[in-house]
Structure 1
Amino acid sequence: MGDPYQNNMYSQHSTYSKYGRGGQDGYGYQEDYPPQEEDAASDVTEGHDEDDQMYEGEYQGIPHPDEVKAAQRAARAAARAKAGTEEEESLAEEYEAIMEDCGHGRFQWTLFTVTGLALMADGAECFVVGFVLPSAEKDMCLSNANKGMLGLIVYLGMMVGAFVWGGLADKLGRRKCLTMALAINCVFAFLSSFAQGYGFFLFFRLFSGIGIGGSVPIVYSYFSEFLSMDKRGEHLSWLCMFWMMGGIYASFTAWGIIPHYGWGFSMGTEFQFHSWRLFVLNAKHDEGWMILKQVHDINWRAKGEPERVFTVSQIKAPKQDNEFIEIQSSTGTSFQRWAVRSATLTKQVLKNILSLMSPDLRLSTLLMAIIWFTMAFSYYGLSVWFPDMIKHLQHEEYESKIKVFHRERVHHFTFNFSLENQIHKEGEYISDNFTKIQMKSVKFEDSLFEDCYFEDIRSTDTFFENCTIKSTVFYNTDLWEEKFIHCRLENTTFLHSKKGCHLDFREDNDVLIYLVSFLGSLAVLPGNIISALFMDKIGRIKMIGGSMLISAGCTFFLFLSFSQAAIIAWQCLFCGTSVAAWNGIEVITVELYPAAKRTTAFGVLNALCKLAAILGSSIFASFVGITKVVPILLSFSALVCGGLIAFKLPETREKVL
């Protein structure tokens, strides 16, 4: 165990600064500052209060001793900052050399597969909400407002999860927090599949979202710390592909059944390697060395060189602030010890979050926050707008084919065929039978029904408005009271009405919406492959900025889209080009921040991303059917703004972590 007082001891190679040389009685003094005589007060100021005295050297241009001390303190702080920066750079170079010595092989590919499957499982959980809505809205009788809340609650959970788990992972370790986040997602996603009520379903999806949000920032940081500089950009981009593969899986299986939950989580939690950099940062050098030795042995054994020796004998660690408070087991109750440790951990996490706005990181954090927000606002907003716009166009096309019947007279007739997309105005129906039929989008206005019989009727979007209904029987139908608007009912009977949700649901376009989402996810794959191959060649900045500007151009051409096919085509093109920006953003976020702040920064920025997703999806959806100018201009402006700001970021492809 390390010496707990090591931070209070001088190392053998420490040297005293000029200021720190021991003077008389052990006090530090300045070598070049003249000694002060006792009682050397000015006669002029004698008798005055100390606060009113004026330093006599001020007349001679000699600085006040307090000013000298303040300047010296500032100089020492600057020197420490410079020394700390140089130390971080030297340590990063050493870590990079260690990873090069370990090689790139079986270990990295195994870790890539496991973390990718975890990311894919979480991606499927995120996308699956939109696909279960057609079934969930019928089973739970969800209104449009409730459906919107069900979609937003997952993003809210992801926002909370990214913020909390990102901060904890830098203090408790990547693997531990990743395992807990995946377990939370697995448990609550499983419970949500059995939830019968809307409230329980909403609650379970919220906590499932917290698990999803936590795993995303951890996975990228975790994997990046086992990659050397020349492999980092490409392989992190390949890892990004698993998220969209989860979306493809969810949309593909949505045609058959609601996807089962939790299929990939056990594999993600069984991988036993911790993140070695966190062990080094927390002064567990021996454990960090053992992890790296295992990585080295696995890779070189797979390459046919099992005799190759791991040449690293020790790993340097940066200086650490003594922040941890250890409570003895005999102190207080177990709950008190837990409370103190939790409070200490919370303080450390908050301090780490605030450190993202330190002078050396402030500009990068602000630029990344703008880029994350603008990209998420446009991407998630349009992801909602595309399918909703297609539904709206389908509805307009359907209404254009409506049939209108005016003043028809039907007596003693049996309707045994379905009625669809019709309006009957001022009709007269005497002694007619409506038996075992479906009524879809049918409306009767100002009509008379007398001595009629309705039996076993199933209706969707069917209404009677300003009608007079006399001596009529409704038996085993779903024509409930809300279907009759301003109608006069005389001697009318309702027997054995069908039970179930009183809301109308349209099923015709469910398959098309699944297909649209599937094509959008599938269009991402080419963009993912291209960005992975060229991430290190053209750089992160050009990848992000160029992709966002091209995506902005795709959104602008939506003004020329007047058909479903055109919107689907532009959606595929937008998804295919924007994924390169997402990959670049995730790679550069990992590379901009030191290991001790990496998942914290990723978590905070990812939480901001989910906030932008909530705002974008809500705003864009509210303009469907009203105008498409506002969503297109908003997305275009946001993408152009983010793309131009991306060029202000520093290039990190040559940076060692």
Structure 2
Amino acid sequence: QTFDYFIRRHYTYPYQTDYPPQEEEDAASDDTEGHDEDEQMYEGEYQGIPHPDEVKEARRAARREARMKARMAAEVEEETLPEQYESIMEDCGHGRFQWTLFTVLGLALMADGVECFVVSFALPSAEKDMCLSNADKGMLGLIVYVGMMIGAVLWGGLADKLGRRQCLLYALAINSIFSFLSCFAQGYGIFIFFRLCSGIGIGGSIPVVYTYYTEFLQMDKRGEHLSWLCLFWMLGGLYASFTAWGIIPHYGWGFSMGTEFQFHSWRVFLLVCFLPSVAALAGLVFMPESPRFLLETARHDEAWMILKQVHDTNWRAKGEPEREFQVSQIKTPQTQDDEFIEIQSETGTAFQRFMVRQMTLVKQVMKNMMSLAAPDLRLHGLFIAIVWFTMAFSYYGLGAWFPDQIKYLQFEEYESNVKIFHREKVERFHFNFTLQNQVHKEGEYIHDRIFGKMFSKEVFYFEESLFENCYFEDIRSTDTFFENCTLKNTVFYNTDLWEDSKFIDCKLENTTFLHPKKGCHLNFQEENDTLIYLVCFLGSLSVIPGNIIAGLLMDKIGRLKIIGGSMLGSAGCTFFVLLCFSQWAVVLFHCLFFAASAAAWNGIEVVTVELYPTSKRATAFGVLNGTCKLAAIISTFIFGKFIGITKIIPIILSFSALVCGGLLAFKLPETREVILQ
């Protein structure tokens, strides 16, 4: 109504009326007589009355002008909102509140770092308890990243609609619950389901944590303090590798209830590893919601109270409790989503209203996700997605390849020490000592007695041999096989050597298996390889220099130089891996690569939160972090195929990806001195 009044007030005439068209020829003015029909003029023109078409055009022009002014005013208003918020954060200062939040969110980030290592550390022991095949082990290692990929996209999208704190609480609660349940799961199916759910929960930590913390930082503090926050992910790796090193080799740290329930040391390790998530969850209960999110959803009063809390906490800690919060009014952007939900809340029964709200939420999240492809975000979004993918492809691929390469070198060393016995004949002998790393071919063993865990450490292999009137007792073996052998009148008592597992193309004549130890046929007392824990510990420790450099230089030389320089430096490190022919050489370059790539991760995460507006920040981060986990899945699978075959292909793939991503990073917009939108 106000708009129509504005139009009538300025673009109409008080004496204007509608004139019906003249139908009679003699009604025309004498002044217009004699003109052709096409050349006739509107006679009201001589009386100063505008033509009706001109009036309509004037009205349309007025509407266009009014819309343009309203749009320009809205744009100016939107432009002033980020500046106002930045000014408020500068007035609040950086102090006790931010450091408290830093610690709580750091624990959540630490829980994510633990989750990336926990299954790989527990897997060698878990396969013994749950009789896992190679395919089962591969799926268990893969399922964690699948869960984290789903969780990143899910919680990132929800955080822009439900709130950063609320979604992080849900995510950490799900991770804590299912991590705890997985400690006691005895079957493979239920265990892998619990780890999937745990991964979905912790997958939301990275996108929500960075978004949440960024919105409490002023512009000149963002780069530095987000880089310090990255240190907690490294602490998660240190925590996981250190506790695995200290707990898993101690097989006696556990208990059992019959044969159905086993709780060994690796389950104690899982129990210890869910503690950072629980600690973060407990601390987050006392933290407030992001005021930027509250302003985005038009919750002005709540945002004002939280900003006042930040202000008072910081200045009280600095010894100025009398300093007052000067802000009385904060502008809020326009939003239509909440109004739409409120309209739908009047629908039907409570269940129907619940379903309507959930469907509305899903539509809003999907709409927000699709808006990332808007013309003003599309190109930069594509570039940063490629940078995320290439960095993760190389980092996670080589991160899994280095330990596997060490295991392969250990296997080669073992094979070089294997003793081969050919055509030996042993009669009436008692074997009561441990035999390991031996291969016996075409031997004859007659009236021999073999007992007492003689095969417990390494491979013991019989090929084309004869066993006659022999007795095997109390043997628990790791990798012992009989191939193309003949066994006559032989007894196996209380052993895990039984016909369906260890005998390949063998001929068994009058052979008896008494009290067989059926199951996984693996030695539970076998010593775990602590070198792998040490490698992961050193790899996590090596990223400290990169994090420190990134924190000190992020706001001085810019984000893009940090990302590009670190990725290109990491690419150079990959070529030195070709010179690795020993275990310790692999360990050295493993640490060097991780140290060089740490700064790139810091820069990528800082640019991501600064590149997108508040309404899309968590969604974009979640999608990009999901892309990162997808790259991890692909690279881990590809690189694993070349273990023991060639080093060249993994190195070329990593080098190419890092160079491509590093060069493309320079095409991203520099966000160093940009106010968050």
Same topology, TM > 0.5: yes
Q: What 5-or-longer segments of structure 2 have no aligned partner?
A: 24-53, 248-268
Asked if 1:537 is matched to 2:552, the reply is no
Which residue of structure 2 lines up, in the alignment, with residue 177 of structure 1?
Answer: 167
Which residue of structure 2 lines up, in the alignment, with residue 136 of structure 1?
Answer: 126
Q: Aligned equivalents of 1:72 and 1:136: distance in 2?
A: 75
Letter in 1 for 2:449: N
Residue 503 of structure 1: how far off its partner (Å): 5.5
Which residue of structure 2 lines up, in the alignment, with residue 381 of structure 1?
Answer: 397
Which residue of structure 1 lines up, in the alignment, with residue 141 of structure 2?
Answer: 151
Residues 98-144 of structure 1 deviation map (CA, whole Å, 9 limit, x = unaligned): 10001111111111111111221232233211111122111111112
Q: Helix, strand or coil: the match of 1:177?
A: helix
Tell me the percent identity: 68
Q: Helix, strand or coil: the match of 2:194?
A: helix
Which residue of structure 1 lines up, in the alignment, with residue 179 of structure 2?
Answer: 189
The answer as to whether partners of 1:327 and 1:337 remain within 8 angstroms in 2 is no
The answer as to whether partners of 2:11 and 2:58 remain within 8 angstroms in 1 is no
Q: Helix, strand or coil: the match of 2:494?
A: strand
Q: Helix, strand or coil: the match of 2:150?
A: helix
The answer as to whether partners of 1:480 and 1:502 remain within 8 angstroms in 2 is no
Which residue of structure 2 lines up, in the alignment, with residue 28 of structure 1?
Answer: none
Q: 1:290 aligns with which of 270, 281, 305?
A: 305
Which residue of structure 2 lines up, in the alignment, with residue 264 of structure 1?
Answer: 279
Letter in 2 for 1:272: M
Q: Aligned equivalents of 2:164 and 2:601: distance in 1?
A: 22
Letter in 2 for 1:537: K
Which residue of structure 1 lines up, in the alignment, with residue 383 of structure 2?
Answer: 367
Q: Aligned equivalents of 2:370 and 2:383: distance in 1?
A: 16
The answer as to whether partners of 2:460 and 2:480 remain within 8 angstroms in 1 is yes
The answer as to whether partners of 2:344 and 2:357 remain within 8 angstroms in 1 is no
Residues 18-53 of structure 1 deviation map (CA, whole Å, 9 limit, x = unaligned): 99976589xxxxxxxxx999799xxxxxxxxxxxxx
Q: Aligned equivalents of 2:321 and 2:379: distance in 1?
A: 47
TM-score, normalised relative to structure 1: 0.88
Asked if 1:575 is matched to 2:591, the reply is no
The answer as to whether partners of 1:185 and 1:212 remain within 8 angstroms in 2 is yes
Q: Helix, strand or coil: the match of 1:361?
A: helix
Q: Helix, strand or coil: the match of 1:462?
A: strand
Q: Helix, strand or coil: the match of 1:655?
A: coil
Q: Aligned equivalents of 2:606 and 2:424: distance in 1?
A: 68
Query: In the TM superposition, what are the counterparts of 1:50-61 in structure 2 within 5 Å?
Result: none
Q: Aligned equivalents of 2:674 and 2:62: distance in 1?
A: 33
Asked if 1:611 is matched to 2:635, the reply is no
Asked if 1:114 is matched to 2:114, the reply is no
The answer as to whether partners of 1:117 and 1:267 remain within 8 angstroms in 2 is no
Residue 395 of structure 1: how far off its partner (Å): 0.3
Letter in 2 for 1:533: L
Q: 1:602 aligns with which of 601, 621, 627?
A: 621
Asked if 1:417 is matched to 2:436, the reply is no
Q: Helix, strand or coil: the match of 2:342?
A: coil
Letter in 1 for 2:298: A
Residue 321 of structure 1: how far off its partner (Å): 3.2
Residues 203-226 of structure 1 deviation map (CA, whole Å, 9 limit, x = unaligned): 111111111111211111111111
Q: Aligned equivalents of 1:486 and 1:68: distance in 2?
A: 97
Q: Aligned equivalents of 2:58 and 2:448: distance in 1?
A: 104
Query: In the TM superposition, what are the counterparts of 1:243-642 in structure 2 within 5 Å?
Result: 243-257=233-247, 258-259=269-270, 260=272, 261-262=274-275, 263-322=278-337, 324-327=340-343, 331-439=347-455, 440-481=458-499, 482-502=501-521, 507=526, 510-642=529-661
For the structure 1 residues 492 and 589, does the alpha-carbon distance in structure 2 shift closer, same or farther, using more than 3 Å as the test? same
Q: Aligned equivalents of 1:545 and 1:19: distance in 2?
A: 60
Q: Helix, strand or coil: the match of 2:436?
A: strand
Q: Helix, strand or coil: the match of 1:227?
A: coil
Residues 469-497 of structure 1 deviation map (CA, whole Å, 9 limit, x = unaligned): 11111111111212111111111111111
Q: Helix, strand or coil: the match of 1:459?
A: coil
Which residue of structure 2 lines up, in the alignment, with residue 94 of structure 1?
Answer: 84
Query: In the TM superposition, what are the counterparts of 1:7-86 in structure 2 within 5 Å?
Result: 86=76
For the structure 1 residues 356 and 77, does the alpha-carbon distance in structure 2 shift closer, same or farther, using more than 3 Å as the test? farther
Q: Aligned equivalents of 2:11 and 2:631: distance in 1?
A: 57
Q: Helix, strand or coil: the match of 2:341?
A: coil
Letter in 2 for 1:474: F
Asked if 1:652 is matched to 2:642, the reply is no
The answer as to whether partners of 1:391 and 1:509 remain within 8 angstroms in 2 is no
The answer as to whether partners of 2:476 and 2:522 remain within 8 angstroms in 1 is no
Q: Aligned equivalents of 2:13 and 2:442: distance in 1?
A: 111
| Higher Rg | 2
The answer as to whether partners of 1:122 and 1:212 remain within 8 angstroms in 2 is yes
Letter in 2 for 1:389: Q
For the structure 1 residues 366 and 77, does the alpha-carbon distance in structure 2 shift closer, same or farther, using more than 3 Å as the test? farther
Q: Helix, strand or coil: the match of 1:410?
A: strand
For the structure 1 residues 329 and 553, does the alpha-carbon distance in structure 2 shift closer, same or farther, using more than 3 Å as the test? closer
The answer as to whether partners of 2:434 and 2:453 remain within 8 angstroms in 1 is yes
Letter in 1 for 2:184: F
Q: Aligned equivalents of 1:591 and 1:391: distance in 2?
A: 41
Q: Aligned equivalents of 2:22 and 2:464: distance in 1?
A: 109
Q: Aligned equivalents of 2:655 and 2:359: distance in 1?
A: 44
For the structure 1 residues 161 and 449, does the alpha-carbon distance in structure 2 shift closer, same or farther, using more than 3 Å as the test? same
Which residue of structure 2 lines up, in the alignment, with residue 229 of structure 1?
Answer: 219
TM-score, normalised relative to structure 2: 0.85
Deviates more, 1:82-91 or 1:273-282: 82-91
Q: 1:202 aligns with which of 177, 186, 192?
A: 192
The list of structure 1 runs, each at least 4 consecutive aligned residues, that deviate by more than 3 angstroms after superposition, is 18-25, 35-40, 67-89, 327-331, 502-509
Q: Helix, strand or coil: the match of 1:444?
A: strand
Q: Aligned equivalents of 2:65 and 2:359: distance in 1?
A: 34
For the structure 1 residues 365 and 329, does the alpha-carbon distance in structure 2 shift closer, same or farther, using more than 3 Å as the test? closer
Q: What 5-or-longer segments of structure 1 have no aligned partner?
A: 1-7, 26-34, 41-64
Q: Helix, strand or coil: the match of 1:469?
A: strand
CA-based RMSD = 3.0
Residues 292-341 of structure 1 deviation map (CA, whole Å, 9 limit, x = unaligned): 11111111111111111111111011222356321577641101001111
Q: Aligned equivalents of 1:38 and 1:617: distance in 2?
A: 82
Q: Helix, strand or coil: the match of 1:404?
A: strand
Which residue of structure 2 lines up, in the alignment, with residue 49 of structure 1?
Answer: none
Q: Aligned equivalents of 2:8 and 2:411: distance in 1?
A: 80
Asked if 1:124 is matched to 2:114, the reply is yes
For the structure 1 residues 315 and 478, does the alpha-carbon distance in structure 2 shift closer, same or farther, using more than 3 Å as the test? same
Residue 518 of structure 1: how far off its partner (Å): 0.8
